[in-house]
């Protein structure tokens, strides 16, 4: 069987073999305490699970599960249009690959190198007509930046997110990202709680409004603040000049007992819709989940853990297959809720 003939089920089965003992690649990835990835790590690497009890990881799933879609079927048939504009780039869908980095932290380095992982995310997403975001981890440096290199290989079709390192280091990463032709750059403010960075003595810091304004002014590219979980932070990000925020609790990996992202998103949307781009991640596994997030106000979403599994399972083609599955299930969900395009998606399709 060729990679082009593989189904997502087969990609996931390959990932399950390669991640044996690290990730069960369960049909339901919810951070439950019985999952092999989950539970208190007591000083061991975090792996695929959530920090502490895993409540934040699990809350992402539970918050989405509470939302119900309303079927609206009588009317003329149509083909759902999932196209999305992201800072002037027309994407096939409002779904992008998240900036998850450091496959060594997930136990995946035995089956895929960091270089190949970054290439798989960026080029696999591009093959599906969308963007792969690339992040930052303790093995990265200005001289050794696999994510930016992958984006350069894709002629700039990607987004670079940097951990909240020293200001001058972040700015140098931004300059290198600009040279690669990146669509946008940003900072992972919740990265100040990064287990991997802390344990490998790579200092990360909380950033204040002055820090954010300096970073905004340091680049000609749109600036994104990722890791927003409160109205207060969302307003501060906007006031600092950010072009977009990502509502995210870092996949439940930095602070135990936070709400799910779908719980805090509506209040942030109510305050800032139309004033800044609002993106979200956390617990999104299907196009149906994507539609729920769009219905409560996000304009696009990021996919994390499933992108890692897809890359481990079949590299670039695995990521492409994963993203195409998400686009297809989103399109189906839009037809079933009478949404011809993304502008038709609103809270009226929820029960």
Question: What's the CA gap between 114 and 102, in Å, rounded?
Answer: 7
State the pLDDT confidence band at 104, using cuts at 50, 70 and 90. Answer: confident
At 111, the pLDDT band (50, 70, 90 cuts) reads confident
Rounded CA separation 204/161 (Å): 14
Q: Tell me, what CATH number does 206's domain have?
A: 3.20.20.70
In a domain, 181, yes or no: yes
**Within-domain flag for 208:** yes
Domain that residue 278 falls in: 84-340
Q: Is residue 203 in a domain? A: yes
Q: Give the tens place of pLDDT for each residue, 267-311.
A: 999 999 999 999 999 999 999 999 999 999 999 999 999 999 999
Say if residue 275 is exposed, middle or buried (CB neighbours under 10 Å; 0-12, 13-18, 19+): exposed
Note the pTM of the prediction, 2 decimals.
0.96
Q: What is the share, in percent, of the chain residues with pLDDT greater than 90?
A: 86
| Sign of the CA dihedral with 181 first, then 227, 94, and 122 last | positive
Say which residue the tokens 């990996």 belong to: 253
Assess if residue 113 is contained within a domain. Answer: yes
The pLDDT confidence band at residue 5, using thresholds 50, 70 and 90, is low
Q: Is residue 131 part of a domain?
A: yes
Q: Each residue of 247-272: pLDDT tens digit? A: 999 999 999 999 999 999 999 999 99
Q: How far is CA 171 from CA 98, 142, 176, 250, in A?
A: 21, 11, 9, 22
pLDDT band at 108 (very low <50, low <70, confident <90, very high): low
In a domain, 32, yes or no: no
Average pLDDT over all residues of the chain:
94
- Examine residue 58 and state whether it is found in any structural domain, yes or no: no
């Amino acid at each position: 069987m060729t990679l082009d003939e593989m189904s997502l089920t087969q990609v996931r089965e390959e990932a399950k073999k390669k991640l044996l003992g690290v990730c069960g690649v369960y049909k339901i990835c919810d951070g439950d305490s019985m999952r092999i990835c989950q539970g208190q790590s007591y000083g061991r690497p975090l792996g695929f699970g959530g920090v502490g009890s895993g409540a934040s990881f699990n809350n992402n799933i539970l918050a989405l599960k509470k939302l119900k879609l309303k079927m609206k079927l009588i009317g003329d048939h149509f083909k759902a249009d999932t196209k999305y504009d992201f800072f002037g780039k027309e994407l096939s869908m409002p779904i992008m690959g998240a900036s998850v980095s450091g496959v060594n932290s997930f136990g995946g380095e035995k089956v895929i190198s960091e270089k190949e992982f970054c290439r798989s995310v960026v080029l696999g997403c591009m093959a599906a007509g969308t963007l792969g975001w690339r992040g930052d981890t303790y093995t990265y440096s200005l001289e050794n930046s696999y994510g930016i290199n992958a984006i350069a290989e894709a002629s700039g079709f990607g987004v670079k997110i940097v951990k909240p390192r020293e200001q001058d280091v972040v700015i140098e990463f931004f300059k290198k990202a600009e040279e690669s032709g990146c669509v946008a750059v940003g900072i992972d403010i919740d990265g100040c709680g990064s287990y991997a960075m802390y344990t490998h003595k790579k200092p990360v810091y909380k950033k204040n409004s002055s820090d954010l304004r300096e970073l905004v002014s340091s680049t000609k590219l749109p600036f994104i603040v990722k890791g927003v979980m409160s109205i207060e932070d969302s307003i501060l990000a906007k006031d600092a000049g950010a072009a977009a925020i990502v509502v995210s609790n870092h996949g439940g990996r930095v602070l135990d007992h936070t709400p799910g992202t779908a719980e805090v998103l509506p209040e942030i949307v109510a305050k800032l819709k139309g004033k800044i781009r609002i993106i979200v991640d956390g617990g999104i596994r299907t196009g149906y989940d994507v539609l729920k997030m769009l219905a409560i106000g996000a304009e696009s979403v990021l996919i994390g853990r499933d992108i890692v599994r897809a890359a481990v399972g079949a590299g670039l083609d695995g990521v492409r297959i994963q993203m195409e599955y998400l686009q297809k299930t989103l399109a189906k969900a839009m037809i079933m809720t009478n949404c011809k395009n993304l502008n038709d998606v609103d809270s009226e399709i929820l029960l």
